[in-house]
Amino acid sequence: MPFFPDSPRPRRPLRLLAPWLAGALPLVLGVGILYWQAERDLEASASNTANQALAQFDLMLDNVAAAANELAPLAGQPCAEVTLALREQVTRRPFVRSTNLGLDDHLYCSSLFGDISEPINPGDYADGRLWLMDGNPVTPGQALLVYRAAQDEQTALATLDGYHLANALRMIGRDQPVLLQVGNSWLAPNGSVHDAPSPAFAVAPTQLASSRYPLSVSTGYPAGATWQWVASHPLLLALVVFLALVAGGVCRWLLRRAHSPRAELARALDANEFIPYYQPVVRGITGRWAGVEVLMRWQHPREGLVRPDLFIPFAEHSGLIVPMTRHLMRQAANDLRAHAERLEDDFHVGINITAEHCQDLALLDDCRDFLAGFAPGRVTLVLELTERELIRPTPITHQLFEALHNLGVMIAIDDFGTGHSSLAYLREFKVDFLKIDQSFIATIGKDALSGHIVDSIIELSGKLDLGIVAEGVEDTVQRDYLVERRVEFLQGYLFGRPVPLHALIDQLPAP
Ligand SMILES: Nc1nc2c(ncn2[C@@H]2O[C@@H]3COP(=O)(O)O[C@H]4[C@@H](O)[C@H](n5cnc6c(=O)[nH]c(N)nc65)O[C@@H]4COP(=O)(O)O[C@H]3[C@H]2O)c(=O)[nH]1
């Protein structure tokens, strides 16, 4: 059946590729949407984290700044007199680790040690207010954030322990790293201070600056975090894969359906690719043309002329045989009508009909259409019913065959001898001819048993008063044998092969 899969539209590589493309489309789209969703989700999460961290640092610094601002007006007073005030701020205010007073950029009093003497460099402080230190002489190596409140020559410093800051970074940034940036230094969640620009995050990089203090927090995710998010949603991924499989499967199914034998036959029918060939049937005794058998051929655009036994079974199976036969009958009627004057009177036109075609009265209309236009008595339509597929008798078939008989349509049993028709069957369907199957004719003179079957069929037809046609007559030995037994009609390559209309017209005897 090479002409079905190799049908010209669309090309085979495209047909093989199409389901994969149809499956890939939802896959690419679905994964793309998931990736986009992951980016949005990570951005929202990073922004949320940065906001939380910023709020926490602002809150801590509010306490520290309040302590420094409250102490600054005391700067200049003797240390012994303000030490209590300095310590009270440390005790009273959360997050404040120590407080100091200075005058003219010189520290002179500390909550920890009382009198001290240290220079203050305002340039160390971002915006003159905040300094992220990596430690001081009291706690070297431990981060410290110093807030400076300066009013003219008076200065107060309040410090915030880096432990609180690092702890907040770790707590808030459980799912992603958060960094605190003050001036040119940044604090990592492990409490280490780095004097360099903070590292850039590959995914959803987010930096938020405080509106109250000269600090900012930055957060984000490392490279590959987006795909990790996608992989952490297996249900969504499974849905995408499921949709891709469904799309690929549906596409494959549609393509297969579009290129099923039925679809290909339907296309060919629409394209008028089924055409009639005609094989002569001659009279046994005179050898003159008695008529033709119409045999279907498929003029395939790529495969050329296709034999009926390669596609008729599919046509029968798919239910297209009836419209195909109807189409063939119309073409044959048109062909022969155009040359009616070349046909002998009572010219027999045999057409193969399937049992399915006999299930309703539409066949009667098809026969009427065929005969219309021919002068009465010019042609005799012979419906050939194969003995291999017997018709089930019903009230409709009874009515149909009665009407066909009245219309003058004759019935022949094709391939006779290969099936199981009975005497009752021959009567039921008002059979007029038996066509002896060519397999028996081929053995004439070679196989005594088959010769005996041929003789029996001839004898039977005589007794039942049925006409007889011998199919597949290929040589003169067969012809002479049949003529000797008074077989009325002969058909076979000896007299002519099935040919298209123009060749038939050339072969027709002159009027
Ligand atoms: N070896 C040999 N063969 C010969 C000789 N003389 C005729 N034939 C072939 O025998 C077949 C006779 O037709 P069939 O028995 O109705 O057998 C037909 C018929 O059963 C079916 N068929 C053909 N056209 C139609 C159609 O329009 N409708 C239906 N339902 N079946 C069709 O396909 C079968 C085969 O048709 P074709 O290939 O045209 O083959 C034809 C014909 O070409 C001969 O001397 N030697």
pLDDT one-digit tens code per residue, 417-476: 888 888 889 988 989 999 999 999 998 988 777 778 899 999 999 999 999 999 999 999
Distance (Å) from CA 276 to ligand 1 centroid: 12
Distance (Å) from CA 296 to ligand 1 centroid: 8
Mean pLDDT of 232-254: 93
Query: Is the pLDDT at 196 greater than 90, yes or no?
Result: no
SS3 category, 73: helix
Distance (Å) from CA 295 to ligand 1 centroid: 6
So what's the pLDDT on residue 136? 83
Mapping DSSP onto H, E and C, the string for 7-31 reads: CCCCCHHHHHHHHHHHHHHHHHHHH
Confidence of residue 148 (pLDDT cuts 50, 70, 90): very high
Q: Is residue 477 part of a domain?
A: no
The reply to whether 144 and 277 lie within a common domain is no
Query: Is the pLDDT at 2 greater than 60, yes or no?
Result: no
CB of 199 within 8 A of CB of 177?
Answer: no
DSSP-assigned letters across all residues of 452-500: HHHHHHHHHHHHHT-EEEE----SHHHHHHHHHTT-SEEESTTT---B-
So what's the pLDDT on residue 198? 81
What residue's CA is closest to ligand 1, atom 15?
415
Q: Is residue 237 part of a domain?
A: no
What residue's CA is closest to ligand 1, atom 1?
472
CB of 487 within 8 A of CB of 284?
Answer: yes
Last residue of a domain, one of 191, 222, 253: 222
Residue among 274, 312, 435, 493 to mutate when testing ligand 1 (max atoms within 8 A of CB):
312
Q: Is the CB of 275 under 6 A from ligand 1?
A: no
Last residue of a domain, one of 222, 240, 271: 222
Q: Is the CB of 397 under 6 A from ligand 1?
A: no
From the list 447, 382, 457, 448, the residue with the least C-alpha distance to 416 is 457
The reply to whether 275 and 375 lie within a common domain is yes
Q: Is the CB of 308 under 6 A from ligand 1?
A: yes
The reply to whether 97 and 156 lie within a common domain is yes
Q: Which atom of ligand 1 is nearest to the CA of 353?
A: 30
Q: Which atom of ligand 1 is nearest to the CA of 297?
A: 24
Distances (CA, A) of 215 to 24, 132, 179, 381: 48, 10, 11, 104
Distance (Å) from CA 430 to ligand 1 centroid: 23
The reply to whether 299 and 400 lie within a common domain is yes
The reply to whether 422 and 500 lie within a common domain is yes
Q: Is the CB of 437 under 6 A from ligand 1?
A: no
Encoded amino acid at 125, one letter: Y
Q: Is residue 447 part of a domain?
A: no
> In the chain, what is the greatest distance between 2 CA atoms, to the nearest angstrom?
154
Q: Is the CB of 498 under 6 A from ligand 1?
A: yes
453: which 2 tokens? 């079957």
How far is C-alpha 291 from the geometric centre of its chain's CA atoms?
53
The reply to whether 63 and 135 lie within a common domain is yes
Last residue of a domain, one of 163, 196, 222: 222
Q: Is the CB of 328 under 6 A from ligand 1?
A: yes
SS3 category, 308: helix
- Angle 239-244-247 (CA atoms, 0-180°, nearest 5)? 125
Q: What is the ipTM of this complex?
A: 0.97
CATH number at residue 376: 3.20.20.450
How far is C-alpha 396 from the geometric centre of its chain's CA atoms?
46
Distance (Å) from CA 329 to ligand 1 centroid: 16
So what's the pLDDT on residue 130? 97
So what's the pLDDT on residue 14? 73
Q: Is residue 351 part of a domain?
A: yes
In the block, residue with structure tokens 């959360």: 94
Mean pLDDT of 354-369: 94
Query: Is the pLDDT at 81 greater than 60, yes or no?
Result: yes
Distance (Å) from CA 50 to ligand 1 centroid: 86
158: which 2 tokens? 């309040």
Query: Is the pLDDT at 7 greater than 50, yes or no?
Result: no
The reply to whether 329 and 392 lie within a common domain is yes
| Domain count within the chain | 2
Distances (CA, A) of 360 to 298, 349, 376, 384: 26, 22, 26, 17
So what's the pLDDT on residue 335? 95
The reply to whether 89 and 181 lie within a common domain is yes
0.90 exceeded by the pTM?
no
CB of 359 within 8 A of CB of 397?
Answer: yes
The secondary structure of residue 278, as a DSSP letter, is E
The reply to whether 328 and 387 lie within a common domain is yes
Residues spanned by the domain of 184:
45-222
Distance CA 509, CA 55 (A): 110
